[in-house]
Amino acid sequence: MSIFPLINSLICAILAIFVLSRNARHPLNLSFSLGLFSLGFIEMANFIALRSILPLFWIRMARVGECLLPANWILFIYAFAKKDRQILTKDKLVISIFYATSLFFMAFSQREFFITPLSDFL
Over residues 34-49, mean pLDDT: 95
In eight-state DSSP terms, residue 115 is -
Q: Which residue has the higher pLDDT, 87 or 94?
A: 94
Contact 68, 95 (CB under 8 A): no
- Considering just the CA atoms, what is the radius of gyration of the chain in Å? 17
Task: Classify residue 41 as exposed, middle or buried by CB count within 10 Å of its CB (0-12, 13-18, 19+).
Answer: buried
pTM: 0.83
Residue 114 has pLDDT above 70, yes or no: no
Alpha helices (runs of H) in the chain, residue ranges in sequence order = 4-22, 27-51, 56-81, 87-90, 92-108
Question: What stretch of H or E contains 52?
Answer: none
Residue 28 has pLDDT above 60, yes or no: yes
In eight-state DSSP terms, residue 110 is T
Please give the C-alpha separations between residue 35 and each of 30, 51, 95, in angstroms, as whole numbers.
9, 25, 14
